[in-house]
Structure 1
Amino acid sequence: MASTSIRWAFNWANWHPTEKDLLKVVSCLQNEEKERLGKFVFRKDFRASVVGRLMMRKFINEYTDIPYNEIIFTRDQNNKPMLENASKSIAFNISHQGSFTVFVGEIRNVKLGVDVMKLEYTGGKRLSEFFRLMDRNFSPAEWIEIRGGTGTPESEQTAMFCRYWALKESYVKGLGVGIVIDLRNIEFRTSSRLRENELVIDTSLYINGVRQNWFFEESLLDSEHCVAVAVQGIESVNSSKNVLFEKISIGKLLENAVSLIPQDPEYCRQYFAKRERP
């Protein structure tokens, strides 16, 4: 099978399922997924996560020879979802933050990570104090770009901070280890500004001053959300289709889905009884 690169984004904040919709969605999951999702306290977190599960299933079903009802997901030692008994070179990763859940998938043997960030700061402290507390996570050169010159608006500083954080998260997620390494040694060097409907592919990664064999895709989903994709291997520059994220609907997510478990009205009633957010 030829290599395939998939980039999907779903605005879950604008998706408010009816009871009928939710019954269908939940029936298309494994029991373990259903139980895990049922533990969310707020509806917003459930929706953001369940969309990711549907994206995984859609990707495997459409781009491998595995029937929808035979797809089985497990988790690795780092609790990262993985396809059980995968016979092909498959990589995928999910992230959700702000209003979006994003999915990246590759039919080829690569390491792959993605992170989406809403370009806002809601921490309560002064931005300068927040930056002070986060100092150890960025190199001096990165902080120069994040803070900008004298008079740089806080909104621009926040946006650049989120861009760098998305890059670092996408990389460590691609490694599959979580943020347990010294982020100051992971230095990104950007060359282009992010703009809507444009893909930036000229950002590079250096560790302890040595350029790394990783390729990065950056873009804006809208004026409020940035997304970064990390793919291992400089060869990815030549083989990647450099595609922007496709914004998909719930209808497209479910177009080939089949029920795996019985519909559960009580489970859905529990969802609607929850608060939307804190």
Structure 2
Amino acid sequence: MIKTSTPIKKMTKMSVRWAFNWGEWSPSEKELKLAVSCLQLEEKARLAKFVFRKDLKASLIGRLLMRKFINDSTKIPYDKIELERDKTTGRPILKNPSTPVSFNVSHQGNYTVLAGESEDLKIGVDVMKLEYTGGKALPEFFRIMNRNFSSSEWNEIRGAPGTPESKQIAMFGRHWALKESYVKALSVGITVDLRELDFQTQSDLRSDKVVADTILYERGVRRNWNFEETLIDSDHCVAVALEIEKQKSHPQNNHFVVIKFEDLMKFAIPLHPEDDDFCKNYFGKAERP
């Protein structure tokens, strides 16, 4: 816990969008030991339960992204940052409630992403790999998922007759990321009737531009939210949901910056001694099923 007598430097106004490609990251023993030593013990214990390396890496990077963002934006010393989980939603939050900072993480495909703001607002982020690996024929998969999208959304997803399946999959992933980002910002999870969320896209996604003209109607009423969308690469799209009324001074339409391990750990301070057994167990796991 941060003591009230501990001096904290003035916060730096920040609006960040970070992405880490853990799919291409094969940590050395030295890197893994350092990374894990910079986590709280309960976070480390949670990571140890993962069966596959890929899931452990994705979650590990998410925790480190949170700590980096909090350290950069609040100037709380790295080794004094204390995260906890919201008792209602289970969402990671900063334990010091007097510090206005908002962030959210997501991982899917090869990336873990973080969207953060150094102010108190509702924010959600979701990343999707634009591929389909369900095994069923795509029309059958869409039939199963029918109840999660409005009729107008299905028109966008399926496109005109003859639209290639790759484009249908990409639009499906885009719409799913939009829905996930919104419900994560609300901290309600996928417990709402997703058909009541009707996203209407206006622009194609690009890797060199952030589009922010997608409109959301909920139960037929236009919602006053901003959705930032872009492609991290040709295979991954990402969406950030922000409640417009709560936005104050952060820049609009931020590009996602892909950061490396060295960037992530630049100002990290270990919280505990390095753990040889954790490292040994990690390298004994399979990368994926």
Q: Which of the five TM-score ranges fits, normalised by the shorter chain?
A: over 0.9
Q: What residue in structure 2 maps to residue 120 of structure 1?
A: 131
Change (3 A) 1:239 1:26: closer
Q: What residue in structure 1 maps to residue 3 of structure 2?
A: none
Q: Does 1:89 find its partner at 2:100?
A: yes
Q: Secondary structure at the match of 1:228?
A: strand
Find 2:24's aligned residue among 1, 10, 14: 14
CA distance in 2, matches of 1:181, 1:89: 28
Q: What residue in structure 2 maps to residue 240 of structure 1?
A: 251
TM-aligned CA deviation for residue 272 of structure 1: 0.1
Aligned alpha-carbon RMSD (Å): 1.3
Query: Letter of the aligned partner of 2:145 in structure 1?
Result: M
CA distance in 2, matches of 1:237, 1:156: 36
Q: What residue in structure 2 maps to residue 34 of structure 1?
A: 44
* Deviation string, structure 1 residues 57-107 (Cα, Å, up to 9, x no partner): 001111103111110010012211011023222110000000000001001
After TM superposition, list the pairs within 5 Å mapping 1:146-161 onto structure 2: 146-161=157-172
Unpaired runs of at least 5, structure 2: 1-10
CA distance in 2, matches of 1:258, 1:239: 28
Q: What residue in structure 2 maps to residue 4 of structure 1?
A: 14
Unpaired runs of at least 5, structure 1: none
Change (3 A) 1:239 1:84: closer
Query: Letter of the aligned partner of 1:78 in structure 2?
Result: T
TM-aligned CA deviation for residue 162 of structure 1: 0.3
* Deviation string, structure 1 residues 88-131 (Cα, Å, up to 9, x no partner): 22110000000000001001121000000000000000100000
TM-aligned CA deviation for residue 239 of structure 1: 4.6
After TM superposition, list the pairs within 5 Å mapping 1:50-199 onto structure 2: 50-76=60-86, 77-199=88-210
Change (3 A) 1:184 1:24: same
Q: Secondary structure at the match of 1:54?
A: helix
CA distance in 1, matches of 2:238, 2:231: 6
Query: Letter of the aligned partner of 1:23 in structure 2?
Result: K
Q: Does 1:276 find its partner at 2:287?
A: yes
Q: Secondary structure at the match of 1:61?
A: helix
What is the TM-score of this pair, normalised by structure 2?
Answer: 0.94
Query: Letter of the aligned partner of 2:232 in structure 1?
Result: L
Q: Does 1:44 find its partner at 2:54?
A: yes
Residues 13, 73 of structure 2: 8 Å contact kept:
no
Q: Secondary structure at the match of 2:113?
A: strand
Q: Does 1:208 find its partner at 2:247?
A: no
Query: Letter of the aligned partner of 1:71 in structure 2?
Result: I
Change (3 A) 1:235 1:258: closer
Q: What residue in structure 2 maps to residue 224 of structure 1?
A: 235
Q: Percent identity?
A: 58
CA distance in 2, matches of 1:51, 1:2: 23
Count of equivalent residues: 278
Residues 67, 78 of structure 2: 8 Å contact kept:
yes
Change (3 A) 1:82 1:25: same
TM-aligned CA deviation for residue 163 of structure 1: 0.2
What is the TM-score of this pair, normalised by structure 1?
Answer: 0.97
Residues 215, 236 of structure 1: 8 Å contact kept:
no
TM-aligned CA deviation for residue 3 of structure 1: 3.7
